[in-house]
Amino acid sequence: MYYHKNQNKLLNNLLKQLFHEKDWKSRAEAARQLGFLKDGRATNLLCRALNSEKDPNVVMKIIEAMGNIGDPKATMKIIEKLKEESEKAIVNKYFIINAIEALKKLKDKRALIFIGHYINSEDDELREIAKNAFEIIEPARIIICPYCYTKIDLDSKFCKECGEKLFFK
Ligand SMILES: [Zn+2]
């Protein structure tokens, strides 16, 4: 009972802080704490905050919070911000990494095509983060052929190595 009451109050106070505080550090802190609260009700308002927020530090904290809350309703909004950043003349690599980390937590397959863009990045860090996110969101569907022990894709009907039929379906 008290828990719910306090949670609502805390949620409202943090949202108020995020939308109205003049100091960016206070807004960033509100976003960070909203992430810790893991309350799905905050997701829609965090999406709205991303529409109006101008400070890139706060934007990054909001995206991070969306990842921690884990509601895939945030996916397309994060992708929108990721695209915006990637089209800038000078791209902040840490903005991209932060967004990919959040998308990884949301495990929404709609994000794969955008994350895939970084899988062949020339930047080692970006490439590793993108690969890792891909593995988390879409784990390799690999099985072992019971006849020749070759690794094959789960969707195959026949073993590419020995030609054995794999499933009775
Ligand atoms: Zn085989």
What is the whole-number distance in angstroms between the Cα of residue 139 and the centre of ligand 1? 22
What is the whole-number distance in angstroms between the Cα of residue 101 and the centre of ligand 1? 37
> In 3D, which of 75, 83, 131 has the Cα closest to residue 105?
75
Asked whether residue 1 carries a pLDDT value surpassing 60, the answer given is no
At residue 165, the pLDDT reads: 83
What is the whole-number distance in angstroms between the Cα of residue 142 and the centre of ligand 1? 13
At residue 168, the pLDDT reads: 52
What is the whole-number distance in angstroms between the Cα of residue 136 and the centre of ligand 1? 27
Q: Give the whole-angstrom CA distance, residue 110 versus residue 157.
A: 26
Task: For residue range 57-113, list pLDDT tens digits in order.
Answer: 999 999 999 999 999 999 999 999 999 999 999 999 999 999 999 999 999 988 988
Determine the average pLDDT of the residues in 156-165: 87
Task: For residue range 14-57, list pLDDT tens digits in order.
Answer: 999 999 999 999 999 999 999 999 999 999 999 999 999 999 99
pTM: 0.81
What is the whole-number distance in angstroms between the Cα of residue 147 and the centre of ligand 1? 5
* SS3 annotation, 43-59: HHHHHHHHHHCCCHHHH
What is the whole-number distance in angstroms between the Cα of residue 107 and the centre of ligand 1? 32
At residue 93, the pLDDT reads: 96
Task: For residue range 118-147, list pLDDT tens digits in order.
Answer: 888 899 999 999 989 988 988 776 777 888
